[in-house]
Amino acid sequence: MVSITLNPNWSGVFPALTTAFTKDGSLDYDAIRQFFGWLLAAGVDGLVVNGSLGENGSLEPDEKLALVALAVEASGGKVPVLSGVAESSTARACQFVDHASRLGLDGFMALPPMQYVSDRRETIAHLKAIASATDLPIMLYNNPVAYRVDITPEMFAELAGEPKFVAIKESSENVRRLTDIRTLVGDRYRLFVGVDDLAMESIVVGADGWVAGLVCAFPRESVALFRLVRAGRIAEALPLYRWFMPLLHLDASIKFVQNIKLVEAIVGVGTEYVRPPRLPLTGDERREIETLVQRALASRPSLPDLDLLKA
């Protein structure tokens, strides 16, 4: 195992990356490399592969490892690279973490068990087992809306005894959770918002970062929003957030993968190819998003200098 950095100080906008496929459903390596490079050039602060938006559940183990390697190569150490850990058994999760840890990434984003709805004791045991399989830091991902397992603030307090758990992606759609976690454990964890259309509210109350979805199509707008809010420039951030909100709502949907991949295709940075059982959008669903994106592009706001804003 490699040496662990217990305080990686993760912060900023971390895209939850979509996975580019060819028409026949295989990984599109060239498109993936170009996509990662485009996002990095736009100023994102990290890369997260193998998440829900990346269609983790449809990927084979070797494909997940290939995506880790591609992200590590693209980053070149400039930003942290994390991989989602979303497996149906604890053994598979630990095996993946063990193999991926050898590829040079910076950490993991660990979910409760997939498919099985674990209780408090089982969830904590699963997450601790993942930690035992690596020396790398871990972001804990709570999304009870999608996965029906709620990692409560009290559970995060219990998990705080494991030093490899360094961050939380909070996607409960309850912005009050961030304050509840801070009240219980102070600054023990780096806190990330994981719900696009609660981004500004979450940053205002103290989120250190944003694991974002629509950033995959609008990275500069996402980075600008985060940095403006963190800098306390609320009067400048609010019009940008209001412009962005109709697009951000697309992340809070059962079809968020198809939604965001369609937006990527419209803005010219990806394709709509998804793996079944998902299918590309058709009919009114498709037309509504096409209209929404065209309206947004026609009224795209001017942005501040991101380099100056970062400073």
Choosing from 64, 147, 164, 169, the catalytic residue is 169
Are the C-beta atoms of 204 and 226 separated by less than 8 Å?
no
Q: Is 189 one of the annotated active-site residues of the chain?
A: no
Residues with Cβ within 8 Å of 174's Cβ and at least 6 positions away in sequence, in order, are none
Strands (E), the chain: 12-15, 47-49, 81-85, 107-110, 138-142, 165-170, 190-193, 209-212
User: Encoding tokens for residue 300?
Assistant: 């795209």
277 upstream amide cis, omega within 30 of 0: yes
Catalytic residue of the set 141, 147, 189, 241: 141
Long-range contacts of 237-242 (CB under 8 A, 24+ apart): 237/200, 238/200, 239/301, 240/301, 240/303, 241/199, 241/200
Catalytic, 147? Answer no
**Cα–Cα–Cα angle for 51, 56, 57, nearest 5°?**
140
Catalytically active residues are: 141, 169
